[in-house]
Chains A and B, each alone.
Chain A
Amino acid sequence: MNKLLSIKGKRTVTDFHRELGKLMWDNVGMGRTEASLKQTLERIPEIRSEFWENVNVLGEGNDLNPALEHAGRVADFLDFGELLTYDALMREESCGGHFREEYQTEDGEALRNDEKFSHVSAWEFKGTDQYPELNKEPLVYEEIKMSQRSYK
């Protein structure tokens, strides 16, 4: 908290929030590719280090301070956005609402890879600039068989 208040940089919290949001929307949105994800993983640490050097959070820490509250959230989003991108990058399939453009059927439908990715990925945050730890929780179906969803 004191760190955020003492930076006294030139850019507003909203400014960083928007920059990160646009990056995530463009590159880690519904459609994503290996290249867009890798580019994001380069960009986030850059935005983050600028944030911690150049953000401007006014006011004090002891009373209600919406700017400080927002800054704390954006600091979290910077870490969380990166973690999310790591997950998106390692999941080499198109699953759910997310479309890895390299993994599609001939007629442009989402192509899953159940052999390799039949699990929930529970990532463990290990600190900023540390690679997070992946815990896999296997998806086991006893009564039904997994199959491709089709609306055709």
Chain B
Amino acid sequence: MNLTLRVWRQKSANTSGQFVEYKATNVSTDMSFLEMLDVLNEDLIKRGEEQIAFDHDCREGICGMCGLVINGKPHGPLGATTTCQLHMRTFKDGDTITIEPWRASPFPVIKDLVVDRSAFDRIIQSGGYVSVGTGGAPDGNTIPIPKEDADKAMDAAQCIGCGACVAACKNASAMLFVAAKISHLSLLPQGRVEQDMRALNMVAKMDEEGFGNCTNTGSCEAACPKEITLDNIARMNRQYMKALFKSNLS
């Protein structure tokens, strides 16, 4: 099939960008969205134009590197699908597709479709870990964990940190991301030890990085390729309030 692409091109963080129109011809319906861009890039190089920069790594929906706003939606039209796992059969011959980077001030554009998501790394560094000694796998297996907790922790652990939640949110809130990390760790006994400091530090860092607050719109949940749910945000808020009271008492 043949497509018209409107792609955001921006030379660097300090220059302004604009949409540039390209024709993608002979696109196979079996291609992934990123493969379609690879082919376009080969064409561009052969014509002496610089290729379109975009992020990618695993190309199997597990690393969180890819992320494009496709026709206004982070990761495109399908639910529970990362950009790398979106296939061209989702589109029709003759379609015009608009491709943009994540838009949020804590994620500045580095080039074209690539944004700087290191703010997420700094949030993780502020508390998204377990530093108590947890022993080896046999030690872990001797601690019984209720099935319901294990399921919830595993669901939260699905988060790949791609940032689609931020891109989808009108407030550029990172609360779904932070809540997923907090839930994933604090629902399990090994992570519970540090849960208060984790909630306080990660929320403070998230604010400091310039992410907005949650107004319960739920667009993050709709955009999330890993179907992280809003109740994680409720759990985070509860934990944060509890930790705040405790720290005020002591």
Question: What residues of chain A have their CB less than 8 Å away from a CB belonging to chain B?
Answer: 12, 14, 56, 58-59, 63-67
Secondary structure dominating the interface of A: loop
Decide if A59 touches B110 in the complex (CB within 8 Å). no
Expressed in whole angstroms, the Cα–Cα distance for A64 and B48 within the complex equals 18
Q: List 11 A-B contacts (CB under 8 A).
A: A58-B45, A58-B51, A59-B50, A59-B51, A63-B110, A64-B110, A64-B111, A64-B114, A65-B53, A66-B53, A67-B51
A58: B residues at CB distance < 8 A: 45, 48-51
Question: What residues of chain B have their CB less than 8 Å away from a CB belonging to chain A?
Answer: 11-12, 38, 42, 45-46, 48-51, 53, 110-111, 114
Expressed in whole angstroms, the Cα–Cα distance for A137 and B73 within the complex equals 55
B49: A residues at CB distance < 8 A: 58
| CB of A24 to closest CB in B, whole Å | 20
Most chain A Cβ neighbours within 10 Å, of B11, B12, B45: B45
| CB of B43 to closest CB in A, whole Å | 10
Decide if A12 touches B45 in the complex (CB within 8 Å). yes
Extra 13 A-B pairs, beta carbons < 8 Å, given A12-B42, A64-B53, A64-B114: A12-B45, A12-B46, A56-B45, A58-B45, A58-B48, A58-B49, A58-B50, A59-B50, A59-B51, A64-B12, A67-B45, A67-B50, A67-B51
A66: B residues at CB distance < 8 A: 51, 53
Expressed in whole angstroms, the Cα–Cα distance for A14 and B41 within the complex equals 10
Chain B, residue nearest A12 (CB): B45
Chain A, residue nearest B56 (CB): A66
B53: A residues at CB distance < 8 A: 64-66
Closest 5 pairs between A and B when the two form their complex, measured CB to CB: A64-B111, A58-B50, A12-B45, A59-B50, A66-B53
Chain B, residue nearest A56 (CB): B45
Expressed in whole angstroms, the Cα–Cα distance for A63 and B50 within the complex equals 13
B51: A residues at CB distance < 8 A: 58-59, 66-67
A14: B residues at CB distance < 8 A: 38, 42
B11: A residues at CB distance < 8 A: 63
A67: B residues at CB distance < 8 A: 45, 50-51
A63: B residues at CB distance < 8 A: 11-12, 110-111
B38: A residues at CB distance < 8 A: 14
| CB of A60 to closest CB in B, whole Å | 9
Expressed in whole angstroms, the Cα–Cα distance for A78 and B132 within the complex equals 45
B46: A residues at CB distance < 8 A: 12
Chain B, residue nearest A62 (CB): B12
